[in-house]
Amino acid sequence: MSGHRIAAITRRLLQGFRRDRRTLALLFVAPLVILGLLGYMLRNSATPAVGVVNEDSGPLGAVVASALDGSTKITTTNIAASDGDAKLKDGSIVAYIVFPSDFTQGAQGGVIAPQVHLEGSQPNAAAQALQALQSALATSASNRPGAVRVQPEVTYLYGGPNLDTLDYFGAAAIGLIVFFLVFVVTIVSFLNERSQGTLERLMASPLRRGEIVIGYMIGFTVLALVQSVEVLLFALYVLNVHNAGNVFLIFGIEALMAITAVNLGIFLSMFARTEFQAVQFIPLVIVPQFLLSGILFPVSSEPTWLQYLSNVLPLTYAVNALRDVMVKGADLTWSSLQLDVGVVAAFVLLFIVAGTATLRRRVG
């Protein structure tokens, strides 16, 4: 191993990127666009519109309707019963709730029976409307004089009442974006090295295979670290993603993910001949990892046999580590975090060895 030769490879790589504005934009602008969109959508999503029809001859309908008005989950408008179906059809509301004329009377008889008409094609919006109705009913019922009050006392081990979807996804997303973009850029640049004939030249030089892989790894890691800092600062200070842990620990995990992506990219580039074939690895390698990593659906909620698969993918451990640190405030004294970080580091070593071993084979 020669430090000079490794440094030459790294320097060459970075010199090339200096003039490659498109790739620089992919590395440094794309993450902000993706994270920004994600943040804006999750934080500022509009509440579903729900119509309310109060035909109740007694007082209860109005009480529940005003409780619905106060809900943060939905936006209510008073409508006429005859307009309800037309409004569902034209999409201006996702549901309408009717308090029939005998609503109060029924309640006195022990049956509270509002009628709910759902548009039905948007499960999330429908669930939100139903939740809002249920809590409105509960509030109204417990506000009645002499009623039994339901008042659970809630305490949080991690997070808190203000932890939202962006806090949950954001923690994993910052790692995932770095992983994905670094992977794409690595696999394509290493493939170029092969297709433009320079790899053949390098193999005919005194360079050792390991020097090529390490030189590449350092070059891309430098880029990936800059990207990680950018993504992290954006997530923490622009999007205000919840963070209970040490910023440097998050950065360390991100860096480890970037190094995994670099080496996975080098390794997989051996199995592609053209850039198009390299892009075909994205649905094959990246998307399943993304689905199985637990970023969308917790691994523990997967069917058992899928859990086995999730548990042999590096991304699963990385996503878990980032969430543990950012949401739960984990530090390196936690054995779960030690395991996650250890497994990701082991994958890095595995990919370095695999990448180096396959290098000679595809040149000769």
Partner 1 sequence: MSEQVAVEVDSVTKEFGVIKALNGVTLRVRRGEIYGLLGPNGAGKTTLIRSIVGLIAPNSGTVTVLGRKLPNLDVLREVGYMTQQAALYPGLSVEENVSFFAAIYGVEGGVKDALEFVDLYTRRGSVVATLSGGMRQRCSLACALVHRPRLLLLDEPTVGVDPQLRVELWEQFRRMAADGTTIIVSSHVMDEAERCQRLGLIQYGRLLAEGSPSEVRSQAGTQNLEEAFLKLAGEKKES
Among 227, 163, 165, 178, residue whose Cα is nearest residue 38: 165
Single out the segment in contact with partner 1 by CB under 8 A; choices: 139-147, 201-209, 236-244, 330-338: 201-209
Which one of 112, 222, 354, 363 is in contact with partner 1 (CB under 8 A)? 363
DSSP state of 204: T
Closer residue to partner 1 (CB): 203 or 345: 203
Question: What is the spatial order of strands in the sheet that 115-118 belongs to?
Answer: 75-78, 49-54, 95-99, 115-118
The Cα 106–Cα 46 span in angstroms is 34
Which one of 46, 148, 150, 204 is in contact with partner 1 (CB under 8 A)? 204
The Cα 257–Cα 251 span in angstroms is 10
Which one of 45, 57, 124, 198 is in contact with partner 1 (CB under 8 A)? 198
Which one of 34, 207, 306, 309 is in contact with partner 1 (CB under 8 A)? 207
The Cα 241–Cα 244 span in angstroms is 10
Shortest distance in whole angstroms from residue 314 CB to partner 1: 30
Which one of 89, 144, 201, 362 is in contact with partner 1 (CB under 8 A)? 201
Give the CA angle between residues 14, 202, 256 to the nearest 5°: 45
- Site map 30..69 versus partner 1, x via CB under 8 A: ----------------------------------------
- Sorted by sequence, the CB contacts under 8 Å of residue 342 that are 6+ apart come out as none
Shortest distance in whole angstroms from residue 5 CB to partner 1: 6
Interface with partner 1 (CB under 8 A): 2, 4-5, 7-9, 11-12, 15-17, 19-20, 196-198, 200-208, 363-364
